[in-house]
């Protein structure tokens, strides 16, 4: 059994989203979206500690205030160098604990499923790799992504990663350097990766709100299966945000990598 001090769940969140500003605190059923996500993460069965990692920008004071209301630890670091923010958050917690494992989730995933997170953690532990995710490749809806990696892998990446995409998106350096890190991936059957349940655009928020309106009262911690069943019964829901590119932010950063290389 893992000790809670060994596993640190770091939820990254900021107010300055370019496509949907302030999205993490937009209300769903009169409660901030981020608060719903924190509640869902509280159902993770693996012993852990949760930290919300936001930036030092004044606009993110509102996130720190929400953390105080929810009694959740908050760490503030770099806005754009999210890899450094993650490492410094883990390092700060590690001053009084023995952090071995980091679980990465992002604040635009209010439908995240705690059971899936536990399964990815279990695969990471059983395979004894440096890094395990359910999104390389993805077989689950966009919005259920989770990554688990060792503190030592995070420290090494924070020291060695150079490209804009590696600094902004935390884990590309780990995934793309197999000579330094061992990796594995969680696969789900059936493949549900064609669904989009993350929140980057107004249409995404509309879909997620409708899902909460349909399912929350019956079970506030409704599952992947509950959402899938709802969409199968009401296929028009999936049409609301159809056609939005998955991982658009990462693709944008990779284009910045290419421009940086070309300017050398």
- Over the stretch 72-125, which tens digit does the pLDDT of each residue have? 999 999 999 999 999 999 999 988 788 999 999 999 999 999 999 999 999 999
Q: What is the pLDDT of residue 30?
A: 96
- Please check the confidence at residue 17 and state whether its pLDDT lies above 80: yes
- Please check the confidence at residue 263 and state whether its pLDDT lies above 70: no
CA 110 – CA 108 distance, rounded (Å): 6
Q: What is the pLDDT of residue 24?
A: 97
| Domain housing 247 | 4-262
Please give the DSSP secondary-structure letter assigned to residue 196: B
* CATH number, domain with residue 111: 3.90.550.10
- Over the stretch 204-240, which tens digit does the pLDDT of each residue have? 999 999 999 999 999 999 999 999 999 999 999 999 9
- Please check the confidence at residue 262 and state whether its pLDDT lies above 60: no
Looking up tokens 């050398």, which residue turns up? 264
Long-range contacts of 25-28 (CB under 8 A, 24+ apart): 25/62, 25/63, 25/66, 26/205, 28/110, 28/208, 28/209, 28/212
pLDDT band of 3, cuts 50, 70, 90: low
- Please check the confidence at residue 256 and state whether its pLDDT lies above 60: no
Q: What is the pLDDT of residue 97?
A: 82
Record the pTM: 0.92
For residues 184-206, give the mean pLDDT. 97
Question: CA torsion sign, 250 to 255 to 259 to 262?
Answer: positive
Q: What is the pLDDT of residue 264?
A: 53
- Mean of the per-residue pLDDT values for the chain? 93
Q: What is the pLDDT of residue 261?
A: 56
- Over the stretch 140-185, which tens digit does the pLDDT of each residue have? 999 999 999 999 999 999 999 999 999 999 999 999 999 999 999 9
The number of distinct structural domains making up the chain is: 1
- Over the stretch 28-80, which tens digit does the pLDDT of each residue have? 999 999 999 999 999 999 999 999 999 999 999 999 999 999 999 999 999 99
3-class SS of residue 52: strand
Q: What is the pLDDT of residue 142?
A: 97
């Amino acid at each position: 059994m893992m000790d809670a001090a060994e596993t640190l769940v770091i939820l990254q969140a900021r107010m300055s989203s370019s496509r949907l500003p302030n999205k993490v605190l937009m209300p769903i059923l009169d409660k901030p979206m981020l608060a719903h996500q924190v509640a869902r993460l509280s159902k993770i069965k693996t012993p852990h500690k949760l930290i919300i990692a936001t930036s030092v920008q004044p606009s993110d004071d509102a996130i720190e205030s929400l953390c105080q209301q929810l009694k959740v630890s908050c760490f503030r670091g770099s806005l754009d160098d999210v890899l450094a923010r993650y490492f410094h958050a883990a390092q700060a917690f590690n001053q009084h604990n023995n952090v071995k494992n980091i679980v990465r989730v992002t604040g635009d995933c209010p439908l995240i499923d705690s059971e899936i997170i536990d399964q990815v953690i279990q695969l990471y532990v059983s395979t004894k790799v440096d890094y395990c995710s359910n999104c390389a490749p993805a077989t689950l809806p966009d919005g259920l992504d989770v990554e688990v990696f060792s503190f030592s892998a995070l420290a090494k990446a924070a020291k060695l990663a150079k490209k804009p995409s590696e600094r902004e998106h935390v884990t590309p350096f780990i995934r793309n350097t197999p000579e330094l890190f061992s990796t594995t991936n969680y696969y789900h059957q059936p493949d549900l990766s064609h669904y989009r349940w993350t929140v980057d655009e107004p249409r995404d928020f509309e879909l997620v709100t409708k899902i909460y309106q349909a399912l929350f009262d019956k079970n506030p911690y409704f599952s992947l299966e509950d959402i899938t069943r709802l969409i199968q019964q009401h296929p028009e829901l999936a049409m609301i945000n159809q056609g939005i590119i998955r991982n658009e932010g990462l693709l944008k950063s990779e284009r910045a990598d290419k421009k940086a290389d070309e300017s050398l």
